[in-house]
Amino acid sequence: MSKLSNMHQPLVTHIFTADPSAHVFEDRLYIYPSHDLDHDGPVNDNGDQYKMEDYHVLSMAGPDSPVTDHGEALHVKDVPWASRQMWAPDAAFKNGTYYLFFPARDHEGIFRIGVATSPSPAGPFKPEEHYIDGSFSIDPAVFIDEDEQSYMLFGGLWGGQLEKWQTGSYVEHAEGPASDAPALGPRIAKLSEDMLSMASEAMEILIVDQEGKPLTAGNEDCRYFEGPWMHKYNGKYYLSYSTGTTHKLVYAIGDSPMGPFTFQGTILPPVSGWTTHHSIVQFQEKWYLFYHDCSLSGGIDYKRCVKLAELTYNSDGTIRMIDPYPEK
């Protein structure tokens, strides 16, 4: 067994990176992170400290290989509809084209999700003139099922504005559900064949406990906060996400990408920094978790670094919890 020299180590140190979405394209691991900026601006629950303006694409021949930074793939100044805050992206390949999905605030300060295309997984990416109609909030994650149907998951609380869309329209001062009410779930929509629009209206994914009851908003150890990701293992759909306020990566399992999903447990306990955001990908015969922490900056929450760890399953399909700091 080869030693994973990159295990639990920052994949790059020349820039700050976060929110890694990993995929296998052209027999390489490609990672699509957000790009944290070094600044001294305000820090608040609205997320103003996350000033990201562009995306760099990273790639590696394997999990223990050197990492290549392919440079700037897309900048907010090149996106006609966007004004600021290019947060966590994702990528997909279909129809011979690579797609980059990304959130940003429009010119009215409302988060929307856009898409850009490229003939290469490394970019650069050319953005569509308008954001995806019907999109809102943050953290797009695209899942392509075995039947080639594509889905986009998205949504994040607080600065991600998900609470503001409970009526189906943007309500500036809307608050989240009461602590004993069902928690807000991520949204999911089918994507069109050309991957540039929604083929169905976004619906909320239901996440339930082992007794089949909806997770409540006050259950901060389990309920959804942001950063959805979907993968498939042994015929089951796995929905993983961040709990936000309790700083964990957790997961639920279901029989359909549309849900419902039954909560299972923790993938990654809290790491250095407030946010946690991830992706899960199979490369050759093994599975890997890509995540971030703030170790590169000494704990500064908006100066993060992308890392990876091997992910393993128990015989019943549950995921074994990963120790993010095994050497301590």
pLDDT of residue 328: 65
Distance CA 212, CA 266 (A): 18
Identify the band that residue 5 occupies on the pLDDT scale cut at 50, 70 and 90: confident
Computed over every residue of the chain, the mean pLDDT equals 96
Statement: residue 281 has pLDDT above 80: yes
Please state the rounded mean pLDDT for residues 54-66.
97
| H or E, element range at 105 | strand 97-106
> Which DSSP letter does residue 296 get?
G
| Three-state SS at 244 | helix
All structural domains of the chain with their residue ranges: 9-320
Give Cα separations from 97 to 61, 123, 195 (angstroms).
21, 11, 10
Q: Give the integer Cα–Cα distance in Å for 209 and 200.
A: 27
Asked if the bond preceding 127 is cis, omega within 30° of 0, the reply is: no
Residue 259 has pLDDT above 80, yes or no: yes
pLDDT band at 41 (very low <50, low <70, confident <90, very high): confident
Q: What is the pLDDT of residues 74-129, one digit of tens each?
A: 999 999 999 999 999 999 999 999 999 999 999 999 999 999 999 999 999 999 99
**Residue 3: what pLDDT?**
41
Query: What is the DSSP track for 16-43?
Result: EEEEEEEEEETTEEEEEEEEE-------
Tokens 């010119």 belong to residue: 107
Tell me the per-residue pLDDT of 122-133, one tens digit each, with 9 for 90 and over: 999 999 999 999
Among residues 27, 40, 133, 146, the one annotated as catalytic is: 40
SS3 158: helix
Say what the pLDDT of residue 32 is: 98
Residue in 101, 195, 188 with CA at minimum distance from that of residue 148: 195
What homologous superfamily does CATH list for 9-320?
Answer: Glycosyl hydrolase domain; family 43 (2.115.10.20)
* Cβ count near 49 (within 10 Å): 19
Using CA atoms, how far apart are residues 212 and 126, in angstroms rounded to an integer? 44
List residues bridging with 5 in a β-sheet.
none
Active-site annotation holds for 148: no
Kindly name the residue from 19, 36, 204, 293 that is annotated as catalytic: 204
Q: Which pTM does this prediction carry?
A: 0.96
Could you tell me what percent of the chain has a pLDDT over 90?
Answer: 93
pLDDT at res. 47: 83
How many C-beta neighbours within 10 Å does residue 40 have? 6
For 156-179, write each residue's pLDDT tens digit.
999 999 999 999 999 999 999 999
Percent of the chain whose predicted confidence (pLDDT) is above 70: 98
pLDDT reading at 250 higher than 80: yes
- Pick the more confident residue, 199 or 45: 199
Residue 285 has pLDDT above 80, yes or no: yes
Res 2: pLDDT: 35
Q: Would the pLDDT of 42 be above 90?
A: no
| Tokens 């809290």 -> residue | 270
Per-residue pLDDT tens over the stretch 199-211: 999 999 999 999 9
How sure is the predictor about 39, in pLDDT bands with cuts at 50, 70 and 90? Answer: confident
Are 104 and 112 spatial neighbours (Cβ–Cβ below 8 Å)?
yes
CA separation for the pair 25, 234 (Å, rounded): 22
Helix (H, G, I), strand (E, B) or coil at 316: coil
Nearest CA-CA partner of 276 in 251, 310, 249, 303: 249
Q: What's the rounded Cα separation, in Å, for the pair 17 and 138?
A: 17
Measure the CA–CA gap between 13 and 58, rounded to whole angstroms.
12
- Residue position matching structure tokens 């849900």: 259
Active site (annotated) includes residue 133? no
Output the pLDDT for position 4.
55
| pLDDT above 70 (res 267) | yes
